[in-house]
Amino acid sequence: MTENQPSRAKTELRRELLAARRALSDDTLRTTAEALSRSALELPELGSAHTVAAYVSIGSEPGTRELLDALRAAGTRVLLPVLLPDNDLDWAAYEGPGSLAEAAHPGKMRLLEPAGPRLGPEAVTGADAVLLPGLAVDRRGMRLGRGGGSYDRVLERLERAGARPALIVLLYDDEVVARVPEEPHDHPVRAVATPSGVIRFSV
């Protein structure tokens, strides 16, 4: 089976964006993580949230560690994903940096996951905001993910449950682009936080 045109375009764009991330220096990764945390915390959706579903950044992804700790320090319940063998996501509460362990099913990446009790894949439906990893967002709010499908399942689960949390993507400044290739299963997001600030979308 051959890839359709949007799928091929996504593959090529992912390759370009991942190459740009790999070229970032350690200093840039550190300073952008600090700035990204400040930007994200300006979002009222995070400030008022009782529960936020988030993730632990890895490698050259926009850094989330400071943001996770800031949310937890503010009394927000933070859920982190646990990768299942079929690439779906379970969830567990974040209890601080010491509560993270290497994933049992890391796939191609060395993931860190919460070591506490598993809450089930449906736990994400109780979140007030969901922080989504991604590689780009366009000016319509359409997100380009890594292509593994885990967060497509999360978004489908939210839709089935009738849950409407704020969907927010964390990116570098130059990853907000004019347009990303779109497929029928793609969902728009409410906002993107970058080291330079927040961009909101009408969704």
CB–CB of 126/162 below 8 Å? no
78 forms beta bridges with: 52
* Separation between Cα atoms, residue 67 and residue 39, nearest integer Å: 10
Which among 199, 59, 79, 58 has a CA at the least distance from the CA of 131? 79
Predicted local distance difference test score (pLDDT) of residue 149: 85
- Tokens, residue 202: 């009408």
Q: Is 167 helix (H, G, I), strand (E, B) or coil?
A: strand
* Separation between Cα atoms, residue 109 and residue 42, nearest integer Å: 30
Which among 77, 66, 65, 36 has a CA at the least distance from the CA of 165? 77
Predicted local distance difference test score (pLDDT) of residue 184: 75
What residue type is 127 in one-letter code?
Answer: A
Predicted local distance difference test score (pLDDT) of residue 7: 81
What residue type is 32 in one-letter code?
Answer: T
Predicted local distance difference test score (pLDDT) of residue 1: 35
Full set of structural domains in the chain with CATH: 5-200 (3.40.50.10420)
Other Cβ atoms closer than 10 A to 101: 12
Q: Which residue ranges of the chain lie beneath pLDDT 70?
A: 1-4, 104-110, 203
Burial tier of 36 (Cβ tally within 10 Å: 0-12, 13-18, 19+): buried
Report the DSSP pairing between strands 197-200 and 191-194: antiparallel
* Separation between Cα atoms, residue 135 and residue 182, nearest integer Å: 14
Predicted local distance difference test score (pLDDT) of residue 97: 86
Predicted local distance difference test score (pLDDT) of residue 2: 44
- pTM score, whole prediction: 0.91
Predicted local distance difference test score (pLDDT) of residue 134: 94
